[in-house]
Structures are given as structure tokens and as C-alpha cells.
Amino acid sequence: QSVLTQPPSASGTPGQRVTISCSGSSSNIGRNYASWYQRLPGTAPKLLIYNNDQRPSGVPDRFSGSKSGTSASLVISGLRSEDEADYYCAGWDDSLNYVFGTGTKVTVL
């Protein structure tokens, strides 16, 4: 069902920089804003980034987002053990549906 494609996994050691890509199309990411959500094990998803690159209050600035064309990216700078989670990109599609990415599991080595 996911129309946004993410790598299934990403990893890094503490302090490293990790980048997660999100590939969409002209009907979703290419035309509308991208958001990113973090799902820690056993908890509800949490909004990390909205409007491509905006962080809600309380989200550490080591999380940053960007968009170019039909793709979006999430960067975690200075990876920490508590960042081990599943990350999902998302956005509106021209079909008026909200679409999620396939999800990326981040592992801290």
C-alpha cells in the first residue's frame, strides 16, 4: 500500500550521521509537504519533522529534514542510543489520501 519508498534499514555508531531517504512521485512529495515520524518500540508514533524541514517544539536539533523534487530526507546528526526506532516519511497525495513510507529501522551499533 505504501507509495513512498524508504530503505528498510540504516545503522550507525553513536555520534555518527545517518541519512534516511524517502522516494515519492509528482503526486505526493513532489507537490506537497513531507513529514517524518519516529516510532520507538512499544510507543505511539511521534512527529519529528513537518513542512519538509520544521521541527516541533521539543524535538532535538540533531534531527533535520529536507526535500528535493520528489524525494525527502531525514538526517540524524550525532546518533544516540535512544534514536533506535522505526522512522516513517509521509505526506498528502493528490488522491487526497495521506501516504506513509515503507519505514526504516535505525539501529545504533
Partner 1 sequence: EVQLVQSGAEVKKPGESLKISCKGSGYRFVNHWIGWVRQMPGKGLDWMGRIYPGDSDTEYSPSFEGQVTISVDESVSTAYLQWDSLKASDTATYFCARLNGGGSDKHMDVWGQGTTVTVSS
By C-beta, is 44 or 61 nearer to partner 1? 44
Beta strands in the chain (DSSP E): 9-12, 18-23, 34-39, 46-49, 63-68, 71-76, 85-92, 98-100, 104-108
User: Could you tell me if 100 and 2 are in contact, meaning their C-beta atoms sit under 8 angstroms apart?
Assistant: yes
| Minimum separation from the CB atom of position 77 to partner 1 (A) | 22
By C-beta, is 35 or 73 nearer to partner 1? 35
User: Under the rule (CB under 8 A), what is the footprint of partner 1?
Assistant: 1-2, 31-33, 35, 37, 39, 44-47, 50-51, 56, 88, 90-92, 95-103
By C-beta, is 15 or 42 nearer to partner 1? 42
Question: Coil, strand or helix: which one is 79?
Answer: coil
